[in-house]
Amino acid sequence: MSEVTYYFLGFAGIYVLMGWALYLPYRVGQLNFLIVACMAITAYFGGFAAREWGWPFIVILIIGILFGATIAFIFSLAIGDAPCFTVVIVGLTSVFIVKTVIENWRTLGGTIGFFHIPGPNNMLAIIYSLLFLVGLLVFRIDHSRWGRAASVVFIDRDVAVTLGVDIKKLGMFFQIISCSIAGMAGILDAFLVKSLSPEFFTFSMIGYLMCILFVGGYTTMWGVILSAFFLQGIPLMFPSNIASWRLVIYGALLVIIILLRPEGLITRKMLWSIKIKSPRYITN
Amino acid sequence: MKCKTLRFFSILILVIGIVFASAFHIFGQEVKVSEWNIPFLNTITGPIASIGEYMSWSANRAAEEINAAGGVRGVPIKIEIIDTGVDKDKAMEEMAKLVDSALVVMGPVPEACIMAAVPIAVKAGLFSMVSSTSYEYAVEYFPWTLSWYPITEEKLPPITAAWAKLHPDMKTVVQFVENWAAWPPMAEAHAVGLESAGVKMLSQVDVPTDAIMFEPLVLKALAQKPDGIMLTCNSEKAAKIIIELVKKGWTDKSKILVFSSADDTALYTTGGDSLEGISIYNYIDLNLDDPRWQAFREAYKKDHNGIEPASLSTNYYDSVYMIKEAIENTGVTGDPAKLAEERIKIRDYCRNVKGFKGIQLTWDMTDGVPTGKGTFLFEIENGEKVFKAMAK
């Protein structure tokens, strides 16, 4: 496999994970950008633990996931049932705080960054194994009682409450799962790139993740997969002088999709129509 | 007779042997490419596109000059500008595309892209000319990179000390520092130089990366009643701080020193007349009396609405010439079969070149670190940079 394909698939896989991390809380109407802060924290933790303490990858990965879950749990006690706007503000602020702390923490390289992270060479197999497992988890959640409850909360919180849904617990559950996934993605990113800089975790990453979620479709988990691969592939699909306009392309795509297909490219209705047309559903 | 014939044939065989040996030697070093393609991973879109633009401009100018003079070993050189923006993923993917074929790479440019993409080049044994970054970044990937600048803590103290010596009545200085990339260590080096000249450093004023309002920062600095101001922040912010200082009554602008990385187009377009009288240090002497430099300067101004060449504008111009020299002096052929070996030849040549004639200075490289490169101190008078001191 060429190096280009390796990194394309590696990043696409990590962005699918991050896309799902954003997708899950949005099932209850929350845009949780805390995932970017969690990604940065675990990436730096992973890089430091591998380089300075020589910890094995698997231990770092597990601790990274737990870090993500713990951070989310603490935050979710306050914002588990908060409206979308509040969650957005908390998320953006947390990214800013984490970035500032890293920039001022000499041990982590400060503004210069953190170099030479050792680790497994073939990250692709690890990324896609984990992607498969996380995919199964997200699929199960989507089709569980929690998923159905989330769909009601998304449409109308009051109706959900009358149906007996505990909105706070549900929000906490989705935030914890999503930050755990982001924690995992942070570790994978650190080991794939092998360097870290505060500049890797900026607000432009939030914009990119939003694009992945809303272009692909926020009503199913499959949209994120389509858009992560498509958007990540734009620089590879087009000649350099066109690919230079990728940020404009991302923005234009987002606007067009929101105007023409507000639910994104892959919607739940679309999946249902495919299911109904498939032979399994045709009866005499 | 027999002896003469034998001698004749012996000489003939010897001559033929020599001719063949020479021919094989020449053929062995024959250039195998129709064009020297040098990829340049640069940032020509995004927030620092203006810097990327003049770096591309200067690299292309060097290539045009070289091609007009007959190319490199008779073959033209082409600079392939590859835009990475400030996106680490894009930089990595673009570098990954090059590792199987490129002889040498120029860039990447922003530090985040260097950190992400250079490890891929290192793994593949590809030499990257990261000529725009400071020593702190380049040294991490030695020997597969070189540092265009000397070690920060050795390079900067002499120039700030020289500034202090020009102003013996300047006893205290406040430094504005933007916490970005290698700027904090540069700020420390500025302070070391000033303190060595007997100046007391007052409390530093941090400039937030997303700062819009500069009045509170300036008031915080002025409250300490400093004699001088050192600006270690980006060009636009430096200009706005100077404007604010002037509004607050700062008069002796020669006691405001702007650091090299802020010597960029935005400093002049934002600062305008407020910059009159300030001090600035950088690595190019605009008034250098050299026809090659003056031709470069005029061409640059012509293509940039009359704006003078920025501090980093010559780096990739000189890099292209250094690669040219490396190819010529090491007999690099461009033969894909010898790619690994020829990459190492270029790397070793560039990292230890002696007496390299840059457009501004002649310097040596020792294990990837330059020696003999100077830093210049200027004051802006009537919109022109007037040379005040040089430090090596």
pLDDT, residue A279, reads 62
Q: Are residues A136 and A69 in the same domain?
A: yes
Strands (E), chain B: 36-42, 77-83, 105-106, 128-129, 172-178, 200-201, 205-207, 228-232, 256-258, 279-282, 356-357, 362-366, 369-371, 375-381, 384-391
Which residues on A lie below 8 Å from B140 (Cβ)? 115-116
Q: Are residues B316 and B220 in the same domain?
A: no
How far does CA B39 lie from the centroid of its chain?
A: 16
Helix (H) or strand (E) holding A96: helix A84-103
C-alpha distance from residue B337 to each of B123, B255, B329 (Å): 19, 58, 20
Task: Check whether A56 has a pLDDT greater than 80.
Answer: yes
Q: Are residues A154 and A230 in the same domain?
A: no
Q: Do B182 and A195 touch (CB under 8 A)?
A: no
Task: Check whether A55 has a pLDDT greater than 50.
Answer: yes
Who wins on pLDDT, B16 or A101? Answer: A101
CA angle B388, B390, B392 (to 5 degrees): 170
Instruction: Give the separation between CA B317 and CA B75, rounded to whole angstroms.
Output: 18
Question: B153 to chain A, minimum CA–CA distance in Å?
Answer: 15
Helix ranges (H only) for chain B are 2-28, 49-68, 88-98, 111-124, 135-138, 152-155, 157-166, 183-196, 215-222, 235-247, 265-271, 291-303, 315-330, 339-351
Rounded average pLDDT over A217-240: 90
Of B81, B140, B179, nearest to A115 by CB-CB distance is B140
Phi, psi of B257 (to 5 degrees): -110, 125
Q: Are residues A172 and A222 in the same domain?
A: no
Q: Give the residue among A45, A193, A192, A194 at the shortest CA–CA distance from A126.
A: A192
Q: B75 in helix, strand or coil? A: strand
Q: Are residues B337 and B383 in the same domain?
A: no
Instruction: Give the separation between CA A182 and CA B19, rounded to whole angstroms.
Output: 68
Q: Are residues A220 and A258 in the same domain?
A: yes
Rounded average pLDDT over B92-97: 92
Q: Do A193 and B116 touch (CB under 8 A)?
A: yes
- Search chain A and give the residue with CA nearest B83: A244
Q: Do A111 and B184 touch (CB under 8 A)?
A: yes
pLDDT, residue A283, reads 46
Q: Which residues of A touch B (CB under 8 A)?
A: 2-4, 6-8, 11, 103-104, 110-113, 115-116, 193-197, 199-200, 204, 232, 235-236, 240-241, 243-247
Q: Do A111 and B179 touch (CB under 8 A)?
A: yes
Which amino acid is it at B37? Answer: N
Among A148, A182, A200, the domain-final residue is: A200
Q: Looking at the domain assignment, is residue B370 inside a domain? A: no
pLDDT, residue B117, reads 95
Q: Do A236 and B93 touch (CB under 8 A)?
A: yes
Rounded average pLDDT over B173-191: 93
Q: Are residues B71 and B55 in the same domain?
A: yes
Q: Are residues A163 and A206 in the same domain?
A: no
Q: Do A199 and B111 touch (CB under 8 A)?
A: yes
Q: Are residues B258 and B379 in the same domain?
A: yes
Rounded average pLDDT over A217-223: 94
pLDDT, residue B26, reads 45
Rounded average pLDDT over A13-32: 96
Who wins on pLDDT, A154 or B18? Answer: A154
Rounded average pLDDT over B10-39: 70
Q: Looking at the domain assignment, is residue B294 inside a domain? A: no
Which amino acid is it at B215? Answer: E
Instruction: Give the separation between CA B148 and CA B363, rounded to whole angstroms.
Output: 11
Q: The complex's ipTM?
A: 0.83
Find where tokens 């900026």 sit. Answer: A202
Task: Check whether A32 has a pLDDT greater than 80.
Answer: yes
Q: Looking at the domain assignment, is residue B341 inside a domain? A: yes
pLDDT, residue B201, reads 97
pLDDT, residue B24, reads 47
Q: Do B115 and A195 touch (CB under 8 A)?
A: yes
- Search chain A and give the residue with CA nearest B180: A111
Determine contact, residues A138/A178, Cβ cutoff 8 Å: no
Q: Are residues A33 and A102 in the same domain?
A: yes
pLDDT, residue A27, reads 94
Task: Check whether B22 has a pLDDT greater than 80.
Answer: no
Which residues on A lie below 8 Å from B110 (Cβ)? 199
Of B81, B99, B183, nearest to A3 by CB-CB distance is B99
Find where tokens 């009159």 sit. Answer: B276
Q: Are residues A243 and A158 in the same domain?
A: no
Rounded average pLDDT over A238-255: 84
Task: Check whether A5 has a pLDDT greater than 50.
Answer: yes
Q: Is A11 exposed, middle or buried (CB count within 10 Å of its CB: 0-12, 13-18, 19+)?
A: buried
Rounded average pLDDT over B94-122: 94
In a mutagenesis test of the B interface, which of A203, A242, A244 is the best target, namely the one with the most B β-carbons within 10 Å? A244
Instruction: Give the separation between CA B190 and CA B153, rounded to whole angstroms.
Output: 8
Question: Domain total for chain B?
Answer: 2
Of B88, B116, B140, nearest to A116 by CB-CB distance is B140
Find where tokens 């953006």 sit. Answer: A92
Note down the domain range covering B323: 36-149+310-360
Task: Check whether B20 has a pLDDT greater than 70.
Answer: no
Q: Are residues B114 and B210 in the same domain?
A: no
Q: Are residues B261 and B380 in the same domain?
A: yes
Lowest-confidence region among A12-21, A138-147, B22-31, B342-351: B22-31
C-alpha distance from residue B51 to each of B203, B315, B365 (Å): 31, 11, 25
Q: Are residues A101 and A213 in the same domain?
A: no
Rounded average pLDDT over B202-224: 93
Q: Are residues B43 and B58 in the same domain?
A: yes
Instruction: Give the separation between CA B112 and CA B344, rounded to whole angstroms.
Output: 25
Task: Check whether A267 has a pLDDT greater than 80.
Answer: yes
pLDDT digits (tens, 9 = 90+) for B290-333: 999 999 999 999 999 888 888 889 999 999 999 999 999 999 99
Q: Are residues A270 and A162 in the same domain?
A: no
CATH, residue B184: 3.40.50.2300
Lowest-confidence region among A33-37, A183-187, B179-183: B179-183
Of B100, B120, B182, nearest to A112 by CB-CB distance is B182
Q: Looking at the domain assignment, is residue B82 inside a domain? A: yes
Determine contact, residues B292/B62, Cβ cutoff 8 Å: no
pLDDT digits (tens, 9 = 90+) for B133-166: 989 899 999 999 999 999 998 989 999 999 999 9
Determine contact, residues A196/A113, Cβ cutoff 8 Å: yes
How confident is residue A284, by pLDDT bands cut at 50, 70 and 90?
Answer: very low
Of B81, B100, B181, nearest to A111 by CB-CB distance is B181
How does the average pLDDT of chain A come out, rounded? 92
Q: Are residues A148 and A262 in the same domain?
A: no
Q: Are residues B170 and B129 in the same domain?
A: no
- Search chain A and give the residue with CA nearest B179: A111
pLDDT, residue B6, reads 67
Which residues on B lie below 8 Å from A247 (Cβ)? 45-46, 85
Q: Is B213 on the interface with A (CB under 8 A)?
A: no
Find where tokens 């891929």 sit. Answer: B120
Name, in order, each residue with C-beta under 8 angstroms of B372's C-beta and a sequence gap of 6 or more.
B361, B362, B363, B364, B392
Rounded average pLDDT over A128-136: 97
Of A104, A193, A240, nearest to B88 by CB-CB distance is A193
Q: Do A196 and B115 touch (CB under 8 A)?
A: yes
Note down the domain range covering A271: 202-284
Find where tokens 């210049």 sit. Answer: B376
Q: Are residues B180 and B226 in the same domain?
A: yes
Phi, psi of A34 (to 5 degrees): -60, -20
Q: Are residues A190 and A70 in the same domain?
A: yes
Q: Are residues B275 and B385 in the same domain?
A: yes
Which residues on A lie below 8 Å from B112 (Cβ)? 113, 197, 199-200
Q: Looking at the domain assignment, is residue B303 inside a domain? A: no
Percent of chain B with pLDDT over 90: 73
- Search chain B and give the residue with CA nearest A190: B116
Q: Are residues B198 and B235 in the same domain?
A: yes
Q: Do B100 and A2 touch (CB under 8 A)?
A: yes
Question: Domain total for chain A?
Answer: 2
Q: Are residues A224 and A196 in the same domain?
A: no
**Between chain A and chain B, how many beta carbons pairs sit less than 8 Å apart?**
92
Question: B362 to chain A, minimum CA–CA distance in Å?
Answer: 29
Among A169, A200, A231, the domain-final residue is: A200
Among A200, A217, A249, the domain-final residue is: A200
C-alpha distance from residue B77 to each of B36, B58, B80, B337, B350 (Å): 4, 14, 10, 20, 17
Q: Are residues B234 and B173 in the same domain?
A: yes
B90, two tokens: 């894009």
Who wins on pLDDT, A30 or A245? Answer: A30
Question: B55 to chain A, minimum CA–CA distance in Å?
Answer: 17
Who wins on pLDDT, A16 or B372? Answer: A16
Task: Check whether B27 has a pLDDT greater than 80.
Answer: no
Which residues on A lie below 8 Å from B87 (Cβ)? 204
How does the average pLDDT of chain B come out, rounded? 91
